[in-house]
Structure formats: C-alpha cells, structure tokens
Amino acid sequence: MADKALVLIVDDSPTNLQVLAACIKDNHRVKVATNGKQCLKIAQTEPHPDLILLDVEMPGMNGYEVCKHLKSSPKTEGIPIIFVTGLQGDDDEEKGLALGAVDYITKPIRPAIVIARVKTHVTLKLQHDKLNKMAFFDQLTGLYNRHYLIDMATKKVARALRHNYDLWVLMIDIDHFKKVNDTYGHPMGDEILKEVSALLVLDNRSEDIAARFGGEEFVVMFDPCNKADAVLKARRILHKIAKLNPHNINVTVSIGMAKLTAEDANFERLLKRADAALYHAKENGRNRIELAP
C-alpha cells in the first residue's frame, strides 16, 4: 500500500465522497475531508497527499479559498489540485485554473473521467517528485547533494546576515577513508557512507541541512544556534560516529567548524573557513574538532 499514491478527496457531501472514493480506491490510497479547514490540516500533515480532488461549493471556506491557502504554503504548493464541481461555466473553470489547479471535473461524476484524470495527474506528480529527488539528493546516501546545498546555503547566509543571527557550518570528513576502501572494498565503503549519513540525519533538526559535499566529505548547517550549542552538537556527532562501528569497522571523522561573520560576504567564504579548520583537525591528529578563528 505504501507505494501507492495518496489522494485526498474533499467534499461536504457524503455521497460524493463515496462515489469518488469508489472510483480510485483500487489504485490509490484515499483520505477524505468534509470541509476546507479539515483539508488544510490533512494536506499539511506528512505524508502529504500526491493529489487533491477538491469540491468548489462548500459551506464556510469554499474550494477556491482552500486552493489559495494550499498554493501559498511551501509545504503544499506542489500538490496538484483537481476541482470537482457542478459549476460548468467557462469563467468558473478559468478561475480554478488561474488559482493553480491542474484540471477541472464537472458533476455529475463520470467514473471513467475521474479515473483517467487522476491517473494522469498522479503520474505527472510522481515523475516530478522523482526528477526533484535526482536534482536535489545524493543517490547513494539520500542526503542533499552539493548543488542543493550551495543553493540553500546561499539563501541561509543572506538571511542570517540580514537578520543578524548565528549560523554555523560543519565540514566533516571520514578519517582514512581511502584505507577503508582499499582494505574492505568500495561496496563496503559505500555502506559506511550510508550509515554515517543516516546518523547525520537523525541528529538534525528539521530546519538543519545535512549534505554530501563529495566523496567522504559532508557539510552540516544549522541556525540560529549559539556557540555553546553548536560545539555541543559537533561533539555529539563526533562521538556518535566514533561509536558507530559499522560492520565492525572502526570509523572516525574530523570536523571543522565556522561561524558566519560580517566578513563572510557569501557562503563560499564561510565554507572555506570551515574547510581550513577541518585541515587543522586532520593535521592535529584526526577524530577531533577544530574551530575556525
């Protein structure tokens, strides 16, 4: 069931909910909502729907208003919406499409039309998600990739400088990783990369960024965060990885830390300072943390 797309059906009529659900339940997971507020609550909750069938004429918040809310939230703006309505005028359809809906189904409901339209837009949504994952995520580890890191980090740096709050970067490198590959083989090296990556994700808050920068190097960014908490977080990562012992192989990391300063005009300079601190950590014995001056 988990591999099936999730479709949210929103209608204040129990009969319409039953008819629409009957059309798609064999091929998709289904959730239902009977009003706009309930729709917004479900849509904001993970797992987010892959598609929403949205009635236009509902008491309280109508479908057009619900659509506006969905399209204004970063969490739900990418969910495709198909309006389902008894309104059949061209102006009504044009209004729905202008608000960001991908399609428009008129009542009375024709099952064949519902099945075809839902299938088309679910397929497009899943293809879009797959392309996004390839564009933003490292395929081996599942962490964000270098491209996404640079894009998001540039925005985070600009925001932190503008609002004057602390932002920290950790540059993390697995110690003697070439020796691991030479001794145990590249497939085992890949397994170690995945286990270290999983630990970095578990240690993060939702607003933090963990990315694979390249090879055995990782970057973690977190904000806002004072120095004491930042150092504590870095030490926790260091110690957890040292205890990880994946496949009975001793693995440690070296960490370079840098705090954003007014002199850091961009992310590249901040990252360069973290990288210099990482170099000192390796020079000073590895399995340690060094702070950039």
Please answer whether residues 33 and 52 qualify as being in contact, where contact means their C-beta atoms are separated by less than 8 angstroms.
Answer: no
Which residue carries 């059949």 as its tokens? 88
Can you give the pTM of this predicted structure? 0.65
Distance CA 215, CA 253 (A): 13
- Catalytic entry in 57, 191, 207, 216: 216
At 2 the pLDDT is: 56
In this predicted structure, the answer to whether residue 90 has a pLDDT above a threshold of 80 is no
Q: Where are the domains of the chain?
A: 6-136, 146-291
Instruction: Give the model confidence (pLDDT) of 251-275 as tens digits.
Output: 999 999 999 988 887 899 999 999 9
pLDDT averaged over every residue in the chain:
91
6-136: CATH number = 3.40.50.2300
Return the H-helix or E-strand segment holding 174. strand 168-174
SS3 12: coil
Q: Average pLDDT of 84-108? A: 84
Contacts of 101 (CB under 8 A, 6+ apart): 54, 67, 80, 81, 82, 83
**3-class secondary-structure state, position 125:** helix
- Is 216 designated active site? yes
Question: What single string gives the DSSP state of each residue in 85-134?
Answer: ES---HHHHHHHHHTT-SEEEESSP-HHHHHHHHHHHHHHHHHHHHHHHH
In this prediction, residues 82-88 reach a mean pLDDT of 84
Q: pLDDT > 70: what percent of the chain?
A: 98
Q: What is the pLDDT of residue 180?
A: 94
For residue 105, give the 3-state DSSP assignment.
strand
Mean pLDDT across the stretch 238-261? Answer: 94
CB 80 within 8 A of CB 121: yes
pLDDT-derived band at 202 (thresholds 50, 70, 90) equals confident
Provide the pLDDT confidence category of residue 74 given band limits of 50, 70 and 90: confident
List all residues 6 or more positions away from 194 whose beta carbon is below 8 Å from its beta carbon. Answer: 140, 141, 142
Residue 121's CB is within 10 A of a number of other CB atoms, namely 21
Which residue, chain included where needed, has tokens 């409901």?
Answer: 109
pLDDT in the model for residue 3 = 78
Whether the pLDDT of residue 119 is over 70: the answer is yes
The sign of the CA dihedral 231, 289, 241, 264 is: positive
Q: Which two tokens stand for residue 271?
A: 């990252």
Domain 146-291 has CATH 3.40.50.11900: no
Contact (CB, 8 A) for 118 and 82: yes
Q: What is the pLDDT of residue 133?
A: 76
| Lowest-pLDDT range of 13-27, 83-97, 110-124, 166-180 | 83-97
- CA trace torsion 92, 111, 121, 36 (10° rounding): 50
Rounded Cα distance, 131 and 137, in Å:
10
Residue with tokens 């607003």: 207
Tokens matching residue 109:
């409901």
DSSP state at residue 251: -
**122: confidence class by pLDDT, cuts 50, 70, 90:** very high
